[in-house]
Amino acid sequence: MTTFQEQDATHTNGTSAVGPGRSPALEFASAWDYAPTPESAKVEIADRYGHYINGAFVESISGDVFETINPATVETLSVVARGTAEDVDAAVKAARQAQPRWAALPAKERGKYLFRIARRLQERAREFAVLETMDNGKPIKETRDVDIPLAAAHFFYHAGWADKLAYAFGGANPEPVGVCGQIIPWNFPLLMAAWKLAPALACGNTCVLKPAETTPLTALRLAEVFDEIGLPPGVVNIVTGDGEAGAALVEHPGVDKIAFTGSTEVGKKIAAATAGTGKKLTLELGGKSPNIIFEDASIDQAVEGVIAGIYFNQGHVCCAGSRLFVQESIADAVVARIENRLKSLRLGDPLDKNTDIGAINSAQQLGTITRYLDSARDEGLTRHEPNGCALPDKGYWCRPCFFTGVQPSHTIAREEIFGPVLAVQTFRTPEEAITRANNTPYGLAAGVWTDKGSKIFEIAGRLKAGVVWLNCYNRFDPASPFGGYKESGFGREGGLQGLRGYVRL
Amino acid sequence: MVQSPTINRVMADERAASFTKRSIKTKAKDAGLRLALSMVDLTTLEGKDSPEKVRSLCAKARRPMPDDERVLGERLPHVAAVCVYPAMVPVAAEALEGSGIHVASVATGFPSGQYPLDVRLRDAERAIADGADEIDMVINRGAFLSGRYDAVGEEIASVADVCAAGGPGGRGVHLKVILETGELETYDNVRRASDIAIEHIRDGDFIKTSTGKVSPAATMGVTLVMLEAIRDAWLGSGKRIGMKPAGGIRTAKQSLHYLAMVKETLGDAWLTPELFRFGASSLVDDLLRQIVKRKTGRYAARYDFGVA
């Protein structure tokens, strides 16, 4: 491998203590390997699921269905109703009918329902984690330690807001918006449902939720929780399906607000469709978030942040730190560490408790990632794929990788890949780092790594991103608002700011 | 002087904690428990230590479970070393004769290091002459915390020279440098002290977290920082340094988490008693309990194993 400093003939101080290829290596190939430890909890999955409308599971009016599969095995998990405009209409009507009574409940009673949902999610956490892993392909350690606990935390947090809204907006009296249409993606299926539903319900709205086509199962199981805790019928309605159901929800005149998390492409269509209709809109869209490592950073911990930033959830993260900017003087040291760290990642059965990298969610997404890998190859970039795990025979898999030699104009430095693919670039001065980091149509998140406090605040203040993580990455808390600049969307989710999207003042 | 990287404590602790999420079951657990047993420096460091207690410890070191062949159908490995005060070295050396188990002696004014250098060196020389083939030295924390890093390095180099001279009959002596991380407090200090020590010791020598006399002793976070220093020395100069967390590792499960951390930080080459040790005493019985449980399905009582 050519080192960064060898690429620059004018740089004379080019000896790196840990430059790859000139030193002893680390071997992870394993005399002592971890034995398989598949999660043993068995989860009942029905052969068939309908929409959840007005407190009951109902078939699609058209009778249409689609299959949802386990992307790690390509086995069909269940058959789910395919929603059309008629189903959406029924769901919106149910939500409309339920809304006045829900909003008229004493606020602390609404809070109690949310507390019950949160507690029940905790009690059934293992079941939800296994189901999410099967439907999505992400590792069980992530669903167990991140997705499900955070989903419960969002319900807990917003349960607390329900009876304090009068104090949230400086004396203004918040009113519910009405019926909220909420369209969520497949990368964090249950967590995104929680992000959407919890604040809406706390503020007295009723909801029609459209889960992603490839991952409807945990939202439908959440509907079972609603039944268990006695949530009034119609307060939350779930219509499963593809883009057709989503479009019908966006266009339905009975919807007062649309909240969408997904691609920028679809987000733009939704913005166009809702323009001039009076519908409130929040969009949480794509990203191409930078991680910036300065030479005075704690390097090993910065590398951990980079690994977590781009390889967590197979890179299916809207705020994934997909662009890495490293100060040139430490570029070789950082790249060598990323190489070694990638070698130690375990790719395979998502239900195995030691799996770090699971399956790609769908054949379609794998195709998208593969096209980007091809484009990078065609543009002459160097691909590093040090992880030696064998890819399983069945299912959709992508070995985690990174590219060096990347310039800001290269496709993989500009477009969102939504996969385990990192583009490594270098810089020499802070000004150059800021310019390059902001040189994107997106602005969702950023990471800054330096041990110098004054630099942290100077750089963070100049990055155009909704969230800037300092010496950490991918930190989430329900109390902290999340959202984007530019083509990453508008509106915030979480925290006091997140409530704004669900009230009229 | 060595330029050490800074350490971000929050992220380092998070990384260290991630190894406690590794699930080590069935065959991996069987192998890991035996590996951990073979890496123990069975230790007694008390003012009331007696020759009889040291002999008990040595017997346990040789055969951690004398009825292993009957109960388990296999002979378990012996531990790596017995670690005692200098006065007990002759007893330990005699009791371990021919066993292949190392005789480790704390020395150089253990545990405080608050003695003149010539006394500390004499302490190490005497322990070696009496039969120790591993010296667990303490660094001069006073010098370190006052910023006299060169002095710290020179003292370590002096002890390393004493060890390099070897013991009677040309017996090789390895050095373990105790940083006493509980007194260094910050991870930046731990990393800097690790780098200083590594610079002045030889291939096959160790760095060690703690004396066991100061709280906190070994933690996963401190050990990770030290393992990363060892990794950088290996990748940078090809020097192979061992690691010994000591104090506070009492359960088999903890020891497996440490092994996972070693495996994923330094790779398989470090999964050997030549390069990784546990400074512990009660750990051995818990390892035996888990080994017996895996074989028989039943937990042994405390009194099922001989005290040491």
What would the pLDDT profile of A279-333 be if each residue is shown by its tens digit?
Answer: 999 999 999 999 999 999 999 999 999 999 999 999 999 999 999 999 999 999 9
Give A23's pLDDT tier (boundaries 50, 70, 90): low
Does residue A11 lie within any of the structural domains?
A: no
Residue pLDDT, tens place only, A353-386: 999 999 999 999 999 999 999 999 999 999 999 9
Q: What residues contact residue B67 under an 8 Å CB cut-off, 6+ apart?
A: none
Helix residue spans in A379-445 (DSSP H): 411-414, 430-438
Both A212 and A322 in one domain: the answer is no
Q: What residues contact residue A82 under an 8 Å CB cut-off, 6+ apart?
A: A60, A62, A64, A65, A66, A240, A241, A242, A244, A245
Does residue A371 lie within any of the structural domains?
A: yes
A471 chain-B contacts, CB cut-off 8 A: 8, 10-11
Q: What angle do CA A275, A280, A284 make, to 5 degrees?
A: 90
> Which of A24, A141, A302 comes nearest B235 by C-beta?
A24
- Cβ of B24 within 8 Å of Cβ of A24? The answer is no
B235 chain-A contacts, CB cut-off 8 A: 17-18, 23-26, 336
Does residue B213 lie within any of the structural domains?
A: yes
Residues 143-182 of A with CB under 8 A from B: 145
Does residue A225 lie within any of the structural domains?
A: yes
Strands (E), A279-397: 280-284, 290-293, 323-327, 382-384
Chain A residue with Cα closest to B36: A32
Q: What residues contact residue B52 under an 8 Å CB cut-off, 6+ apart?
A: none
- Cβ of A35 within 8 Å of Cβ of B14? The answer is no
User: A336 and chain B: CB distance < 8 Å anywhere?
Assistant: yes
Residue A21 has pLDDT above 70, yes or no: no
Task: Tell me what pLDDT residue A1 has.
Answer: 45
Task: Tell me what pLDDT residue A8 has.
Answer: 44
Chain B residue with Cα closest to A21: B235
Full residue range of the structural domain in which residue A88 is found: 48-285+485-504
Task: Tell me what pLDDT residue B2 has.
Answer: 62
- Cβ of B234 within 8 Å of Cβ of A24? The answer is yes
Does residue B4 lie within any of the structural domains?
A: no
Question: Would you say A188 and A315 are in contact if contact means Cβ atoms under 8 Å apart?
Answer: no
For chain A, the average pLDDT equals 94
Residue A157 has pLDDT above 60, yes or no: yes
Measure the CA–CA gap between B55 and B287, rounded to whole angstroms: 21
Both A447 and A497 in one domain: the answer is no
Percent of chain A with pLDDT over 70: 95
Q: What is the ipTM of this complex?
A: 0.94
- Best of A293, A298, A356, A451 to disrupt the B interface (most B CBs within 10 Å) is A298
> Which of A23, A28, A300 comes nearest B228 by C-beta?
A300
B35 chain-A contacts, CB cut-off 8 A: 32
Residue A12 has pLDDT above 80, yes or no: no
Of B249, B268, B189, nearest to B225 (Cα)? B189
Number of domains observed in the structure of chain B:
1
CATH number where A300 lies: 3.40.309.10
Of A284, A286, A296, A253, nearest to A415 (Cα)? A286
CB pairs under 8 A between A and B: 100
Residue A273 has pLDDT above 60, yes or no: yes
Task: Tell me what pLDDT residue A16 has.
Answer: 36
Task: Tell me what pLDDT residue B1 has.
Answer: 56
Question: Would you say A136 and A219 are in contact if contact means Cβ atoms under 8 Å apart?
Answer: no
| Residue given tokens 């546990």 in the structure block | B278
Q: What residues contact residue A286 under an 8 Å CB cut-off, 6+ apart?
A: A263, A264, A318, A416, A418, A442, A444, A487, A488
Q: How far is CA A126 from the centre of its chain?
A: 20
Task: Tell me what pLDDT residue A29 has.
Answer: 72
Task: Tell me what pLDDT residue A4 has.
Answer: 57
Residue A259 has pLDDT above 80, yes or no: yes
- Cβ of B268 within 8 Å of Cβ of A29? The answer is yes
Q: Is the peptide bond before B216 cis (omega within 30 degrees of 0)?
A: yes
Coil/strand/helix, residue A189: helix
Residue pLDDT, tens place only, A195-223: 999 999 999 999 999 999 999 999 999 99
Does residue A23 lie within any of the structural domains?
A: no
Residue A400 has pLDDT above 90, yes or no: yes
A305 chain-B contacts, CB cut-off 8 A: 11
Both A254 and A390 in one domain: the answer is no
Does residue B3 lie within any of the structural domains?
A: no
Name the phi and psi angles at B263, rounded to 5.
-60, -40
Cα–Cα distance list, B237 to A22, A25, A340 (Å): 10, 11, 17
Q: How far is CA A413 from the centre of its chain?
A: 19
Residue A9 has pLDDT above 80, yes or no: no
Segments of chain B scoring below 50 in pLDDT: none
What average pLDDT score do residues A464-488 get? 97
Residue A6 has pLDDT above 70, yes or no: no
Residue pLDDT, tens place only, A85-123: 999 999 999 999 999 999 999 999 999 999 999 999 999
Percent of chain A with pLDDT over 90: 92
How many angstroms separate the most distant Cα atoms in chain A?
74
Token pair belonging to B39: 């890496």
Does residue B2 lie within any of the structural domains?
A: no
Number of domains observed in the structure of chain A:
2
Both A408 and A363 in one domain: the answer is yes
Does residue A478 lie within any of the structural domains?
A: no
DSSP A143: I
Measure the CA–CA gap between A149 and A191, rounded to whole angstroms: 9
Name the phi and psi angles at A297, rounded to 5.
-80, 160
- Cβ of A37 within 8 Å of Cβ of B23? The answer is yes
Catalytic residues of A: 284, 318
Residue pLDDT, tens place only, A50-73: 999 999 999 999 999 999 999 999
Does residue B1 lie within any of the structural domains?
A: no
Both A454 and A322 in one domain: the answer is yes
Full residue range of the structural domain in which residue B243 is found: 9-304
Task: Tell me what pLDDT residue A236 has.
Answer: 98
Helix residue spans in A137-205 (DSSP H): 140-142, 148-161, 189-202
User: A19 and chain B: CB distance < 8 Å anywhere?
Assistant: no
